[in-house]
Structure 1
Amino acid sequence: MYDNMIRAAIVHHSATGNNYAANESAAIVRSIFTYHTRTMGWGDVAYNALVDRHGQVFEGRFGGLDKPVEGSHTGGFNKDTWAVCLIGDFGKEVPTAAQLRSVGRLLGWRLALAGIDPKGTATLTSTGGTYTRVPQGMTRSLPSIFAHRDVGDTECPGNAAYAFLDRIRDIAARLNQPPSAEDLQESLRGGAIYAQWQALGGADGVLGTARSPEAPGVGQARYVIFAHGAIYWSQATGAHPITGPIYDAWATLGYERSPLGLPTSGQLHEPQWIVQNFQHGTLNVDRQNAVVSLVTDGRPRVLPPPPPEGPPVQLERFSPARNRIA
């Protein structure tokens, strides 16, 4: 069944387990389908979409995510609304950063199609029934993104998820705006690079504010550019910051494509040298004259300074796929 429009979005949780792998989520969605159709008799999944703890999005009720498909998710308020379900139980355990980010971006996209401000309000009229505490015909003014519990006699989506509704609204509202420093920080949350950045003081630390979303390098490498350097990560090397003359020299050599590979340590401060280890050698800065030396196979070589225009930019920074925050 199609409505004429979408006027608001509603957040739910599935009240199922939280400890599942990414490749198990499809089976969970299928079990929800079975419960909703065979046990509840609703004909299809109640929700328009579902998002797992890994940030994966699944279509729920058939008919098109970009269409005003009427679900059976929120008694009394199914008409002209669109529902997303967080897969898991969030009475006490909080949703993951990836889950919150995907829910926010999904709702930002869906409400934008309908011309709805994610931080606005909607006036909805209850159709009544046993699944809502709002009598038939009563009108309620609700946020454009609200929770099942706001109109139903339920704890859904759980206290822990309910506390994050404002963050979901913020992510949704920022989706179609130029990325800000807050957007970039939010896009990094939950990853190894974010953890290392926070350990170094975050935006107030040696690296400063984030200047790019996380992007892929060669092989398994991932990196983020900051105001005063970068952090590179791979499963083999871990996450390590790289700054100053060592960063410029490594960039001039070709970043992780260079013979050095990826950094395997932060900068080590010795009496005469500042040293950073890489997979296949080291870069050393002489404290007296700021000359950078490359050491591979035990043989040092003095490197020329970077060109006047600076070191080359990472090629991946120009990929159109990453012009919008992931």
Structure 2
Amino acid sequence: MSKTLRLLTLTATGLALVAPQLHPSAQPAADPAEATYQEIAITGPSVAAETKPFAMVGVTWPVGVKDVHAKVRIKQGGQWTDWQPLHIEDGHGPDTPEGNPGTEPLWVGDATGIQASATDTAGTTVKGAKVTLIQPGVLPSDTAEATEPQSVESAASRAPYPMPNVWSRKRWGADERLRNINKGCSRPKYTKTVMAAFVHHTADRNDYTRAQVPAMIRATYAYHVKTRGWCDLGYNFLVDRFGRAFEGRYGGAQLPVLGAHTESFNGNSFGVSLIGNFDKVAPPASMLEATARVIAWKLDANYRSPTSSIVLARHRVNTISGHRDTKATACPGQQLYAKLPWLKQRVQKLMGGTVSTPIYRFAKTVGFRSLGQPFWGEHKTRTGWATYFGTRDVFYSVSTGAHSTAGVFRQRYRRMGPDTGLGLPTTEVHNGRVAGTRVQSFRDGGFYWAKPYGVRPVTGLIYRKYVAIGAERSRLGVPVTDLYKVKGGLRQKFQHGWLTYHAHRRTVLVQYRSGS
């Protein structure tokens, strides 16, 4: 069965089924036999209605309506539950102008009937209100468990706290086609850097099982996109009560992806939401520990102190803050909010105290005004470490030291990749020994630039030969092409000749143009 939007109407006389219409996202689900999405218009005092099975419910209403009171009751196991109020979503900040106000979604597990109410302060039914029912289906991967070991502590002298085990979007079953539903949402948006972490709770239930969590995230993803009109799942990360972390919003967990979690504070921050309701119940220790590891990894990579404060959206906030620190809201729940001091100290311990990596020391020497802020925080590569700043990329290994790439050199090096061909840089970009040239040396080669030819890499045995004969000062001049294949080997063209590598003999032949 394809995923369709079934528009239903709950009225005082019963349940009226309108002809099904194809939803913009109507494409085969990961498990089309089980995944469904339904919207029900609340047009008056609703009656109990039988529905297809669903596992998550939420209520929305038109923009501009204030002080809505929403509640639902559901049918489970043949019995109707009592009425249950839904938490009003606390202003995460929609990505798109057409975003709809609504409640937090509520996981109900397995239900086959719904009765919903959405009224204003006068008790009048809100015109245009809808209740959404989502059945995310069950995937074989939902019961999979991690086998990768996790780091527990970080010594003060080592590089940034390593990335903890995080379930990727692919692993929890994200349907990436959903991101094409709302206008302008197919590509992720990025901010300049990561300066702060905002802690949330989903205001959901706390008695879910391990196997239900991936489905809960898939359902929340569908609710945020289809029902709320957002670009994607609002949070950058989620953590369950079993101590497992999950990648939320698409775009690269390592990068400063713009989320929809804390309204005007979304820029230059990330949101991590603990799955559950912590107004009256404290989050378990395993959940807090997993949250601390995610925050430690993100803050340490971007050189932020977990115990300091920064300015965001013209307000000073702590580097680790709760959602309620930015507006009048109960999120992340009083019991979780009370744990923030512990969380800050735990993150500080995991990070090992003061930032002291070679890349950070290089950045302080050069100056962040020159480098810009970290965009892709310090991370391990195959041959060393790297941090991509706003205007330069800095690389480090024990053998090469810390050096940066900038401008057209950075662009070309990014296209090649730091782990292939050239190796890591061993110098900064500098003037060549011939007027009008710029040069940068790498462990296994070099970049040479001249205005007519752009940046050209020279590597391997051809590079060694080129340096041996004088490089840019030689009769050959600067390179005008990259390496290209010829019969029996490789060749590179220069201003006044060629260098040819013969694979069989492992030798490099120098050839000059006639008259050069």
Q: What is the TM-score with the length of structure 1 in the denominator?
A: 0.50
Task: Tell which has more relative contact order, 1 or 2 (C-alpha 8 A, sep 6+).
Answer: 1
* Higher relative strand content: 2
* Higher relative helix content: 1
Q: What is the TM-score with the length of structure 2 in the denominator?
A: 0.32
